[in-house]
Amino acid sequence: MFDTKSYDRKYFDRLMPENVTIKYFTPKLDETTYPLCNGFDVVAAFVNDDLNKTVIDGLYNFGVKLIAMRSAGFNNVDVKACYKKIHVMRVPSYSPEAVAEHTAALLLTSARRIHKAYNRTRDFNFSLSGLEGFNLNGKTVGVIGTGRIGRAFIDIMKGFKCKVIAYDKFPSKEVDCEYVELNDLFKKSDIISLHCPLTDDNFHMIDRKGISQMKKGVIILNTSRGALIDAEDLLDGIKKRIVGAACLDVYEEESDLFFEDKSGHILGDDVLARLLSMPNVIITSHQAFLTDEALYEIARCTYKNIADFFDGKNSDNEVCYRCEKVEDCKIKKRENCF
């Protein structure tokens, strides 16, 4: 199990089955660390591990049979290289509410200047000057991606009596809001929130062109994947006063930074450093999932995925690059992929 922290180990230790033994590794899984997997049956990876073709081939040669992702996303896994070599499983829904609530917390913090007020009062500065915020009531919120997390966030925004519009490549009848085209969402939304997986099709879906279509003062929220937003174009949009605020829990170049204490180091990422210097930008380090309930569910589901695999049970949590490309997908037929 790679890229582990104390909060990961607590729940995996608590729920560990008798027939499972885990070796915890602090480093991320990549081309330099995959030799540590020699002799293991399963690799448990996380969002910033790099499972490219070289790593996949190395794991396969070591006899690794399963990659058990401790996340819903798997864009960091070369699933094509895994086909007919190593099975891949994921945790599709560990706590949609955790991520949606964190997104709402970021929005409220920005809208009501909570972060600025907190810093002021700790210095005994009780002035209200410059802390003017705005009501969420009546604002138009554009939600990109209406899976479990997107739907949870929609419910929260409706509680604030916001008008919600949504964009999804595959609209759901379960979602009680108006679906619009992406360009229309950009134009109409006061607040835009991203809740979709990262794919080749939506890489940098928010870029210079998209930002130019947005309302002046728009607030952009991202608790999904960093590369959905072109960070340099976002910075430019902030400087041009188009983007009124940005609340980010993810960043496209986060893999060598997030989850680590870099407080004693000089930050070499100039774009991130400039974003952090902006008074209207709030960045948290990929912590939207970090609740007791979510961590428990990640460990529980990961162990179940492992048990199902070695018991020969078909699982909806298996990932295959062919699933959306072929009509005779075996997983959809409740059969083993290979």
Please give the positions annotated as active site: 225, 254, 286
Smallest Cα–Cα separation from 12: which of 46, 37, 55? 46
Give the C-alpha separation, 280 to 202, whole Å: 25
Sign of the dihedral through C-alpha 25, 30, 35, 37: positive
Give, in order, the Cα–Cα distances in Å from 181 to each of 14, 114, 238: 46, 33, 24
Taking each continuous run of H as one helix and of E as one strand, the counts in the chain are 11, 11
Task: From 138, 99, 144, 122, select the one nearest 290 (Cα to Cα).
Answer: 99
CA distances to 106, 224, 287 from 103, in Å = 5, 10, 10
What span, in angstroms and rounded, lies between the C-alpha atoms of 103 and 271?
22
HSE-CB of 237 using CA atoms within 13 angstroms: 27
Give the HSE-up count for residue 11: Cα atoms under 13 Å, Cβ half-sphere: 19
Give the end-to-end CA distance of the chain in Å, rounded to a whole number: 24
Structural tokens at position 143: 């939600």
Strands 218-222 and 191-194: parallel
**Within 13 Å and on the Cβ side, how many CA atoms surround 8?**
18
**Is there a contact between 238 and 280 (Cβ–Cβ < 8 Å)?**
yes
